[in-house]
């Protein structure tokens, strides 16, 4: 996940064709790259994490768009809360 423009650009360059890219349209947004499994749970988690670090994070629900080289999708999700976020830290 890139949380500033420089890292977002770097991630864009590193993205592979099979990876999904997540962004929140219309807001300052991190760029999130999802590699590996693209099951429903992984897609929703990546969308919620993207919403959490976007400028839309104060909203109850946030529209997140994702895409790869062939597909596009949209989800409306609640931003990941701080309790859930701590579980993701390594």
Count of domains observed in the chain: 1
In whole angstroms, what is the distance from residue 5 CA to residue 31 CA? 9
Q: What is the predicted pLDDT for the residue at 88?
A: 55
46 in a structural domain: yes
pLDDT value of residue 64:
96
Helix, strand or coil for residue 84? helix
Domain assignment present for residue 74? The answer is yes
Q: Which residue, chain included where needed, has tokens 């650009």?
A: 9
Alpha-carbon distance values, 70 to 20, 24, 46, 61, 67 (Å)? 10, 19, 18, 26, 7
Q: Say what the pTM is.
A: 0.82
88 located within any domain: no
Matching residue, tokens 């701590």: 86
Q: Does residue 90 lie in a domain region?
A: no
For residue 42, tell me if it sits in a domain: yes
Distance CA 67, CA 70 (A): 7
> Which residue range(s) make up the domain with 18?
5-83
- Does the residue 9 lie in any domain? yes
SS (H, E, C) 20-53: EEEECCCCCCCEEEECCCCCHHHHHHHHHHHHHH
pLDDT score, position 90: 38
- Each residue's pLDDT tens digit in the chain (90 positions)? 877 788 878 888 888 889 999 999 998 778 899 998 899 999 999 999 999 999 887 889 999 999 988 889 999 999 998 765 444 543
């Amino acid at each position: 996940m890139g949380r500033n423009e420089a890292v977002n650009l770097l991630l864009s360059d590193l993205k592979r064709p099979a990876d999904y890219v997540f962004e929140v349209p219309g807001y300052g947004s991190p760029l999130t790259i999802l590699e590996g499994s693209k099951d429903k749970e992984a897609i929703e988690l990546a969308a919620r994490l993207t919403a959490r670090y976007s400028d839309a994070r104060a909203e109850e629900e946030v529209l997140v768009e994702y895409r790869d080289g062939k597909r596009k999708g949209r989800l409306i999700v609640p931003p990941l809360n701080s309790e859930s976020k701590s579980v993701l830290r390594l």
